[in-house]
Structure 1
Amino acid sequence: MNEKKAKKLFKKYVNNECSQEERDLMERFLESYQSESNPTSDFRFDSETKEEVWQKIAGKTKVPQANKNNFNGFILKYAAIFIGLVGLAMVFNFLSKNGSEKSNLVIEDNAIVLKTGDNQARKIIVGGGESITDEDGNILASQSNDQMVYHGKATTELVYNEIIIPKGKTFELKLSDGTLVHLNADTSLKYPVSFVKGQDRKVFLKGEAYFEVAKDPEHKFTVVAKDIDVQVLGTHFNVSCYTGEETYAVLAEGSVAISDKRAGQVSDSLSILKPGQKAAMQEDALIITEVDISDYLNWRNGDLTFNNEPFEDIVRKIERRYGVRIENGYTELESVRFRGAFKNETIEDLLDTFKESAEFDYEITNNQIRIKKPT
């Protein structure tokens, strides 16, 4: 579909003049933007066309107007936009990137850091091809793009490395036993360069990671996190233990045993999780609930999902995802809960979406964002 025809079709849509055949054509056109393998279009839509389409979408989503004293239950427009048009949020993101002025948001280039067993620290560049060697020059690990793979060697002594992922970045690590670890932003993982035969496999997590544990019935695998240990033989699960936030584990497949390590709570009993369950640390107990695991796992694909979460927690997720600092000067918003799903949106797209629903103002200075009460 060329630019002229695409603009004409959008215009007919906003005027309710599309035939069924034209609607089908537009849906296929929009759906094509969901595939990362498709080449980027050269289309350029003017601001008037984009505004017309947006107003059409806003009318169909039926999102309630903000009440300054009661924001509870708001559903973000991006989360509500499906209306039979697959991938529409992606198209608006594409249009905004190609038609707007350059963002004035400056993101600090915080590096991924690898600390080795001899107390050396080195910068890991995403997309690079670094190799990690021991003191004798033997290659212990090699990097390809955004993944570091440890090759492992026979050893009787545990030597630990630690990888630190800053805000705004993610990374993958394949341990010497074949376990694949997806590391979220603002996360560190301490792990053996090579596991020792006859000893349990154990890693230490601060932040959030998704584990695809290599099966080895003779060597139990344990993730040591804040307040909990997660024990497995071979399974897929997510653990989140950011400082000041809820500590939890979510199971995708297999089974895991959760132990409560908090002072006064230590016991020999273990809580067993089944796929689709979440174990979360509450004040006086470990609570297990059924959840939609996609809400907890899709960060691996670059998605950002809020499922009835308070704005205070959402701000932390945004800071981690985009590598920014947010100062909320509109404290009434902190306990307000929102639902929404974002994928490739810029930080400005995301904030503008919240602004539409919650009626706040914001300003950006370098990588500092200040949220302000509406005037």
Structure 2
Amino acid sequence: MDSINSTFGIGRLIAKHLTNALNAAEEQQLDAWIKADEKHAAIFNRIVVHETLAAALIEMQQINTELALANVKSRLGQQPEQQPAAQTAKLWKRYIGAAAAVAAIAFGIWFFTAPRHLDDRRDNYSNDIAPGSNRATLTMANGNTIHLSQKKSGVIVGDALTYDDGSEILRDALDDKQDNNGSSSRGNEGPITAITPRGGTYSIILQDGTKVWLNADSKLEFLSNYRNKLQRIVKLTGEGYFEVAKDRRRPFIVESNGQQTTVLGTHFNISAYKGEGVKTTLLEGSVHVASLFAAPKAKRATAGPEAGRILKPGQQAVLTASNSITVQTVNVEEAVAWKAGDFEFNDEKMSVIMKKLERWYDVDIVVNEQIADREFTGKISRSRNISRVLDMIEKTTGIKFKIEGRRVIAPDQ
């Protein structure tokens, strides 16, 4: 009986989650339950994508939920708390739909966690692929390329090159030329390039204190004398999250696949993978986004607001194929979930999801057009092997995958 009570308790929390009615304590309780077991996460993801269930639960905001649950429990042989007969008759028509919804949630939880399902999950994949890790290279202005340690997570570029734990990589890192005796000459600017491969991620602190997190398959370019310039300009290909050091006299500019983002000091994310358009999501402060092809070349670095759009926190700018910029309000946590170590999808097309998995797991994924257009909602840690991610998608959508070496295929369904 305790297991039934627990099941209905979790069912009630999920129901309230769907109607945005959870208080802080309940959010913590539900979050703890989801993280306690991978099966719990799969159950939660499967439940929340059912739009009809979500619609039915809207009724819960206006009814006596305890009365609804009492009725459902009575059908399972539990003794409900007594309610006045008049109140029962009055509320019956209003809570029956929500009661059914909560019952469906509770039954789903019970079904997938019942003892007969507690055995270890069968491995449906003959092979498995580990997740990405801290991998990057840094090519200095003198042309030397440094393979950064996978045991570290970030690098600091300054007069010396160090890891973010303080351990030294290279002294006089910003010297453009060094002779055989180690002496150097300064003043000649040169590019410094940080690259993360597919399956890699790393953070970089620039000379002015700006911090950049690079997602997999990304590149960041900046000058060795970048901190001495009137404008702090960097170039991004791929995806990066920026926390820009404030400097009102020198704007910080990111050039990415035909887009220019200008800030003084703020937090934002740019996704600029080739062939996927450019998305700029603002978390804090203010940024100006413009197309590099929307203004004359001579005015690109100082293009005014008329050439682009100014974003507010919670907004995302999208550079379209026609070089115009559209702005929409988005869930910023979803946009930067990768930085927090998660995959988070919200009605996202499978074609987009597969590209993200390809980059993080360094694999090639083949799906047909019918599958590519299907949508999926769910959240899972990027620290999981790819089989765990595919299994969650399969449980929710019914799409079956097969791993062959470093290829993932979805045979005709």
TM-score, L = length of structure 1 = 0.69
Q: Paired residue for 2:139, among 115, 119, 131?
A: 115
Alignment of 1:66-145 (within 5 A): 104-106=127-129, 111-128=135-152, 140-144=160-164
How far apart are 1:178 and its partner, in Å?
0.2
CA distance in 1, matches of 2:155, 2:51: 54
- Distance change (3 Å), C-alpha of 1:105 and 1:22: closer
CA distance in 2, matches of 1:321, 1:96: 30
Q: Is the 8 A contact 1:223 1:229 kept in 2?
A: yes
Code of the aligned partner of 1:341 = K
For residues 52-110 of structure 1, what are the alpha-carbon distances to aligned partners after superposition, in whole Å with 9 as ceiling and x for unaligned?
A: x8998799668489xxxxxxxxxxxxxxxxx79xxxxxx9xxx9998766972245989
Q: Which residue of 1 aligns with 2:339?
A: 300
Q: Is the 8 A contact 1:148 1:173 kept in 2?
A: no
For residues 313-371 of structure 1, what are the alpha-carbon distances to aligned partners after superposition, in whole Å with 9 as ceiling and x for unaligned?
A: 1110111222222112x321112222222225432122122223333322112221111
Q: Is the 8 A contact 2:155 2:203 kept in 1?
A: no
Alignment of 1:219-368 (within 5 A): 219-262=250-293, 269-284=307-322, 285-328=324-367, 330-343=368-381, 344-368=383-407
1:168 aligns with 2:199: yes
Q: Is the 8 A contact 1:149 1:174 kept in 2?
A: no
Q: Name the SS of the counterpart of 2:337 in structure 1.
A: helix
Q: Name the SS of the counterpart of 2:331 in structure 1.
A: coil
Q: Is the 8 A contact 2:49 2:377 kept in 1?
A: no
How far apart are 1:185 and its partner, in Å?
0.8
Q: Name the SS of the counterpart of 1:119 in structure 2.
A: coil
Q: Is the 8 A contact 2:244 2:266 kept in 1?
A: yes
**Consecutive unaligned residues in structure 2, runs of 5 or more:** 14-27, 53-104, 107-112, 176-185, 298-302
Q: Name the SS of the counterpart of 1:349 in structure 2.
A: helix
Code of the aligned partner of 1:244 = G
How far apart are 1:240 and its partner, in Å?
0.9
Q: Is the 8 A contact 2:318 2:326 kept in 1?
A: yes
CA distance in 1, matches of 2:340, 2:166: 13
- Distance change (3 Å), C-alpha of 1:253 and 1:120: same
1:31 aligns with 2:17: no
Q: Which residue of 2 aligns with 1:39?
A: none
How far apart are 1:112 and its partner, in Å?
1.9
Code of the aligned partner of 1:142 = T
- Distance change (3 Å), C-alpha of 1:148 and 1:370: farther
Q: Which residue of 1 aligns with 2:245?
A: 214
- Distance change (3 Å), C-alpha of 1:118 and 1:132: farther
How far apart are 1:217 and its partner, in Å?
1.1
RMSD of aligned Cα (Å):
4.4
How far apart are 1:258 and its partner, in Å?
1.1
Q: Which residue of 1 aligns with 2:220?
A: 189
Give the number of aligned pairs.
Answer: 316
CA distance in 2, matches of 1:97, 1:171: 37
Q: Is the 8 A contact 1:107 1:366 kept in 2?
A: no
CA distance in 2, matches of 1:55, 1:298: 18
**Stretch of structure 1 that moved more, 242-251 or 275-284:** 275-284
- Distance change (3 Å), C-alpha of 1:104 and 1:262: same
CA distance in 2, matches of 1:242, 1:130: 22
CA distance in 2, matches of 1:146, 1:346: 31
**Consecutive unaligned residues in structure 1, runs of 5 or more:** 1-10, 36-44, 66-82, 85-90
Query: Which structure's CA Rg is the greater one?
Result: 2
- Distance change (3 Å), C-alpha of 1:183 and 1:108: closer
Tell which has more relative contact order, 1 or 2 (C-alpha 8 A, sep 6+).
1
For residues 100-154 of structure 1, what are the alpha-carbon distances to aligned partners after superposition, in whole Å with 9 as ceiling and x for unaligned?
A: 6697224598952221212222211221499999xxxx96210146999999879
CA distance in 2, matches of 1:55, 1:200: 48
Q: Is the 8 A contact 1:107 1:323 kept in 2?
A: no
Q: Is the 8 A contact 1:324 1:369 kept in 2?
A: yes
Q: Is the 8 A contact 2:128 2:403 kept in 1?
A: yes
**Stretch of structure 1 that moved more, 260-269 or 215-224:** 260-269
Q: Which residue of 1 aligns with 2:55?
A: none
For residues 293-312 of structure 1, what are the alpha-carbon distances to aligned partners after superposition, in whole Å with 9 as ceiling and x for unaligned?
A: 11111210111111222111
- Distance change (3 Å), C-alpha of 1:333 and 1:147: farther
For residues 272-299 of structure 1, what are the alpha-carbon distances to aligned partners after superposition, in whole Å with 9 as ceiling and x for unaligned?
A: 1111111101233210111111111121
